[in-house]
Amino acid sequence: MIEKMEFGRTGHLSTRTLFGAAALASVTQAEADKTLEVLQAFGINHIDTAASYGDAELRIGPWMKQHRQDFFLATKTEKRSYQGAKEELHRSLERLRVDSVDLWQMHILVDPDEWETAMGPGGALEAFIEAREQGLVRFLGVTGHGTTIAQMHLRSLERFDFDSVLLPYNYAMMQNEQYAADFAALLAVCQERKVAVQTIKAITRGPWGDKPPTRATWYEPLEKQEEIDTAVHYVLNNPSFFLNTVGDIHLLPKVLDAASRFRPQELTAVEKEAARLDTEPLFV
């Protein structure tokens, strides 16, 4: 089984490997239901989805009748205005077939102008605070991609006391000295405030480039089990991190299998193994 730890200050013991429900964006309900069986087999108890993940919320909805109590349920919005965010939350609740979610996140909050809108008068933050006061959500977070997202998350935490952050973390990404420094600064604040740190893109090989995509992911993923083991263990070797799984249901079992076999190792050994992977940064 996969190790659990407290998800920030929420009080919930989440499996350190969270189900990234982007993998359900374009699958049938039958395929989604088989994926639920995989999650149950590995004891996964935390689902991370988003309004923008295709049909993912619709696929999760039927699970909630019997399994709502089994999962910490998170979703996201890319709407930046109060009204837009509020309307999308209610749509997400309807699609998920629930009265409330555990975590609601501002998704891909990286553009400075969008940040000003979301955090300003009439912005999404007002809808977030209101939703929490109304009991529609329990906790609030921010997410994002790119090389500047650690800086932006720090800015967001200065503006509001969010409960979680989500951002890329893998060996290739951490070879960017500026990103690594920003990440370290963000992590220090998160540890001080008990803010949950969710990581994404663990098994990224790099951009597809000229290759025709053969997976549901928008990046080329690692494929071999031993490579996935190395990449997953690199992330989990930092005891502060949660790992959001891959956006392809067919690679999901390999990621969960790797996570289930993780044991802490010496940092230098983990880094040496990760350095041998044929990977490149997805964001530059």
Amino acid 1: pLDDT: 82
The model's pLDDT over 24-70, given as tens digits with 9 standing for 90+, comes to 999 999 999 999 999 999 999 999 999 999 999 999 999 999 999 99
Going by pLDDT thresholds of 50, 70 and 90, the confidence category of residue 181 is: very high
Give start and end residues of each alpha helix (H) in the chain. Answer: 29-41, 56-67, 82-96, 112-119, 124-133, 149-159, 177-193, 225-236, 252-260, 267-275
Q: Show the domains of the chain with their CATH numbers.
A: 4-275 (3.20.20.100)
> Is 90 exceeded by the pLDDT of residue 219?
yes
Handedness of CA 21, 53, 230, 188 (dihedral sign): negative
Once rounded to an integer, what is the mean pLDDT over residues 246-261? 98
Q: Burial, 52: exposed, middle or buried (Cβ in 10 Å; 0-12, 13-18, 19+)?
A: middle
> Is 90 exceeded by the pLDDT of residue 148?
yes
> Is 90 exceeded by the pLDDT of residue 4?
yes
> Mean pLDDT across the chain, nearest whole number?
97
Amino acid 284: pLDDT: 84
Rounded distance, CA 141 to CA 71, Å? 17
> Is 90 exceeded by the pLDDT of residue 267?
no
pTM to 2 decimal places: 0.97
Q: Is residue 149 within 8 Å of residue 178, measured between CB atoms? A: no
Of the listed ranges 11-20, 167-176, 245-254, 261-270, the least confidently predicted one is 261-270
Once rounded to an integer, what is the mean pLDDT over residues 175-185? 98
Rounded distance, CA 283 to CA 136, Å? 34
Once rounded to an integer, what is the mean pLDDT over residues 150-160? 98
| Neighbouring-strand partners of residue 47 | 19, 73
The model's pLDDT over 82-139, given as tens digits with 9 standing for 90+, comes to 999 999 999 999 999 999 999 999 999 999 999 999 999 999 999 999 999 999 999 9
Rounded distance, CA 9 to CA 173, Å? 27
Handedness of CA 80, 86, 87, 88 (dihedral sign): positive
Once rounded to an integer, what is the mean pLDDT over residues 209-215? 95
Amino acid 223: pLDDT: 97
The model's pLDDT over 222-234, given as tens digits with 9 standing for 90+, comes to 999 999 999 999 9
Amino acid 108: pLDDT: 98
Q: Burial, 213: exposed, middle or buried (Cβ in 10 Å; 0-12, 13-18, 19+)?
A: exposed
